[in-house]
Chains A and B, each alone.
Chain A
Amino acid sequence: MSTGSPTARRGHVFASVPGWKRSFALLSEAAADEVTRAVVFVHGYSGKARSTWTDFLSLVDDDRIAGLWWETSDLFFYDYFWRSMFRRVGENALDLFHFVHDVFPKPPQALFDGGGTSIRRDFSYRELTLVGHSEGGVLIRKIILHAADRNAPLVAWRRTPEASRPAVLPKPDGILVANVRLFAPALGGEALAGMMGVIASLPIISSALHASAAKLDLAPGATAITSARRYTDEWSKAVDLECFKAHIVWAAHDFVVDPEKYLDDLQCTRSPKGTDHASVCKPTRQYPFPVTFVERGVEYDKC
């Protein structure tokens, strides 16, 4: 794919995100008025911001893999490695909500200050894409619900009897403008947690898992999982917003999550060959699909 600018390719520059330890950003070198979009990556259980998404880190600057969409996007990689194992999903979702709220639509000025210069001033994004892997997908669903519940005009519109509702939906803002892209999300629950979950999520182990004759999973019907689904489906029935319709791709061989989607989600009907739970979200030069998927999502059931 090569839709990049005819002039020199604009790359991305690393910056830590103020106040968020181990989370970081890749800031586009394009002119400020060209940068309209923030893309936020959220890893899963026992994952890390730096290692889960390799090699998005360099391929977004490669003309042969990533086009203008990426060239004019800022990327944020959220890290909650320790909390993913030792804090509840609800708490982690609230932390993520605050992170996204910090960077979108108006990121902190300190992000753009350094070396005696400010590379952007008084800057805001217009678009947001949330990208989740595994449990990161659940957190994303939960922060969207949280944002919807806090949006007074939207809540009022939804509570108004259908017959007397204004025809036009209140204009969404903040997190509610997001597009959602999920890799092997744990929407149906995760089969494993604790030490076993950590081990099974390791790439060297994840690629060595095979189906067995037994069919009894440990998957719990945890409240955090089931409530996110119920409320998202309710919202999705009531209002037509992209943020309630995740675009999903499943790994070809995944024993960590159940491939369950919500009511209005769109999913690739085929999975990338040879992928497992850990590798499905990791693009390489030979497997550039994740880069394309984040940009375009699912179109007519195809990826």
Chain B
Amino acid sequence: MTSVRQPEWQRFARAKFIEEMSNEDAYRESGRSLDVLRKVELDSESFLRLVQSLLPTAAALVEQRGWLEIGASIGYFHTAPPLDEADRRIIFAASESSEGLWHPWFRRFARSAAGGDISAYVPETLRSASTAALGIFQAAFILAAEFRDPLLVALQRALHDGTSVLDKPVEPVSAAAVFEAMETSVDMSWQELRSQQKSPRLVAGFLQLAGLLAAFDALFPFDNIISDSPRPATARDAISKMMANLLMWRLNLWSEVVVRRLEVISAAFWELCGREFARYPELSFRWAPQEARAELDRLLHAWRERSDVDPGSPRPDLSGIAGRKRRTPAPNREFSFEDEDANAES
């Protein structure tokens, strides 16, 4: 069923989107650096170098622009606000200086966004999208904001920065240290969180990442796409692909470096899980590590495979992140009720 969004609702929706994209978390992530980039007066070459040193800030700007431009293209709002000259300059410079660092789709998209025309990135099926499709787009936007959680931002930077504490194995982390990292994160400035890549904080960020990947999986179920039989693309599929491309800079599983660093932090995570379960042998339940690893493996593959890949691009092996080598099929998600007897047993 098609959507007939009234103009005043479109204006309202756009204002609320912009408000969300400039809230405290967003400012802590990239606002301060963006202010610098917008005001600095440098020659082209120096500006290019400065932008290259602040690529995550520029990527956050491209992502924001993506939400607005795609939202306007599918009818979530009427138009995106115009891109001002300072932001256009930043995005152009970033697209020029990010070769090999950004996912190719994201780089091309940045260039198009700076040029003011992203129409090639919005499939025909989403023009004048249905109410249900607008709801899916909106849900993706709501979930994507979780990437700006301070601990998750710290993890993203440790995964993507030029140098990282995750370039070598990390010591095992205690449950108390991870818990403390979560507790103190609320009182720390984001600058502190980012500059001090401490492994308990990064494990805390990994915990959040695992939860967020599961939430994206609920919004964009991947079971059918990774099976052998292709099916017609739905609006949900199309939005899934656009969102995956737009967010890949935050968790670029096409990058060997990122995958290797994820292996390092996930090893600390799995070790922590094993130790915690071993601490409580009196519990009425036990965990099946292989099942948990298989589920993480599935979520990681789903995250990566939703996005576009350039032909010939390397496809890093993700199995090391889950500490396993083979993928198992996704669980059967058909819905029914348990038999009463079976339920009583459980």
A225 close to chain B: CB less than 8 A: no
B136 close to chain A: CB less than 8 A: yes
Q: How far is the CB of B138 from chain A (nearest CB, A)?
A: 5
Give Cα distance in the complex from A128 to B25, angstroms: 30
A51 touches B215 (CB 8 A): yes
Query: Which listed residue, B216, B273, B333, B337, touches A199 by the CB 8 Å rule?
Result: B273
Give Cα distance in the complex from A203 to B298, angstroms: 12
- Which residues of chain A are near B288, meaning CB under 8 Å? 208-210
Of A115-123, A141-149, A153-161, A174-182, the segment with at least 4 beta carbons within 8 Å of chain B is A115-123
Question: Given A195-B179, A204-B292, do A284 and B9 touch, yes or no (CB 8 Å)?
Answer: no
A168 close to chain B: CB less than 8 A: no
Within 8 A of B (CB), among A245-264: 252-255
B4 close to chain A: CB less than 8 A: yes
B143 touches A214 (CB 8 A): no
Give Cα distance in the complex from A270 to B343, angstroms: 7
- Which residues of chain B are near A164, meaning CB under 8 Å? none
Query: Which listed residue, B17, B131, B176, B214, touches A8 by the CB 8 Å rule?
Result: B131
A252 touches B11 (CB 8 A): no
B218 touches A282 (CB 8 A): yes
B138 touches A273 (CB 8 A): no
Query: Which listed residue, A48, A82, A207, A217, touches B284 by the CB 8 Å rule?
Result: A217
Q: How far is the CB of A88 from chain B (nearest CB, A)?
A: 14
Q: How far is the CB of B72 from chain A (nearest CB, A)?
A: 13
A62 touches B132 (CB 8 A): yes
Give Cα distance in the complex from A271 to B343, angstroms: 7
Question: Given A9-B131, A114-B16, do A86 and B183 touch, yes or no (CB 8 Å)?
Answer: yes
Sample of 10 more A-B contacts, CB < 8 Å, known A209-B285, A270-B343? A11-B3, A29-B6, A51-B146, A54-B216, A82-B183, A199-B207, A208-B291, A252-B343, A255-B283, A288-B335
- Which residues of chain A are near B199, meaning CB under 8 Å? none
Question: Given A13-B13, A252-B338, do A274 and B333 touch, yes or no (CB 8 Å)?
Answer: yes
B139 touches A57 (CB 8 A): yes
Q: Which of A54, A117, A269, A271 has the most chain B CB within a 10 Å cutoff? A: A54
B16 touches A16 (CB 8 A): yes
A282: nearest chain-B partner, CB-CB: B218
A152 close to chain B: CB less than 8 A: no
B16 touches A284 (CB 8 A): no
Q: How far is the CB of A171 from chain B (nearest CB, A)?
A: 34
Give Cα distance in the complex from A4 to B130, angstroms: 14
Taking residues whose C-beta sits less than 8 angstroms from the other chain, chain B's interface range is 35 or more
A273 touches B143 (CB 8 A): no
B299 close to chain A: CB less than 8 A: yes
B175: nearest chain-A partner, CB-CB: A195
Within 8 A of A (CB), among B10-36: 11-17, 19-20, 23-25
B295 touches A208 (CB 8 A): yes
Query: Which listed residue, A11, A270, A271, touches B135 by the CB 8 Å rule?
Result: A11
- Which residues of chain B are near A195, meaning CB under 8 Å? 175-176, 178-179, 272, 276
B142 touches A14 (CB 8 A): yes
Q: How far is the CB of A296 from chain B (nearest CB, A)?
A: 15
A255 touches B24 (CB 8 A): no
| Contact mask for chain A residues 265-299; partner B; CB cutoff 8 A; 1 contact, 0 none | 00001111110001000101111110000000000
Give Cα distance in the complex from A61 to B132, angstroms: 5
Taking residues whose C-beta sits less than 8 angstroms from the other chain, chain A's interface range is 35 or more
- Which residues of chain B are near A217, meaning CB under 8 Å? 283-284
Q: Which of A22, A198, A211 has the most chain B CB within a 10 Å cutoff? A: A198
A255 touches B338 (CB 8 A): no
A57 touches B287 (CB 8 A): no
B285 touches A85 (CB 8 A): no
Give Cα distance in the complex from A82 to B208, angstroms: 12
Pairs of residues from A and B, 10 with the lowest C-beta to C-beta distance, nearest first: A61-B135, A115-B11, A114-B15, A115-B15, A57-B139, A51-B215, A195-B175, A203-B214, A208-B291, A255-B285
Give Cα distance in the complex from A264 to B165, angstroms: 55
B284 touches A211 (CB 8 A): yes
- Which residues of chain A are near B138, meaning CB under 8 Å? 12-14, 26, 57-58
A24 close to chain B: CB less than 8 A: yes
Q: How far is the CB of A247 from chain B (nearest CB, A)?
A: 16
B135 touches A57 (CB 8 A): yes
Give Cα distance in the complex from A116 to B16, angstroms: 11
- Which residues of chain A are near B335, meaning CB under 8 Å? 272-274, 286-289
- Which residues of chain B are near A112, meaning CB under 8 Å? 12
Query: Which listed residue, B6, B219, B334, touches A286 by the CB 8 Å rule?
Result: B334
Question: Given A204-B210, A210-B285, do A272 and B146 touch, yes or no (CB 8 Å)?
Answer: no
B345: nearest chain-A partner, CB-CB: A211
Give Cα distance in the complex from A202 to B208, angstroms: 9
Within 8 A of A (CB), among B194-253: 207, 210-212, 214-216, 218-219, 221
Give Cα distance in the complex from A194 to B174, angstroms: 12
B13 touches A211 (CB 8 A): no
Give Cα distance in the complex from A270 to B335, angstroms: 13
Q: List 8 A-B contacts (CB under 8 A).
A: A9-B130, A86-B183, A195-B175, A204-B292, A252-B342, A252-B346, A272-B337, A286-B333
A196 touches B280 (CB 8 A): yes
Question: Given A29-B9, A55-B219, A195-B175, do A50 and B146 touch, yes or no (CB 8 Å)?
Answer: yes
Give Cα distance in the complex from A286 to B141, angstroms: 22
A271 touches B12 (CB 8 A): no
A24 touches B142 (CB 8 A): yes
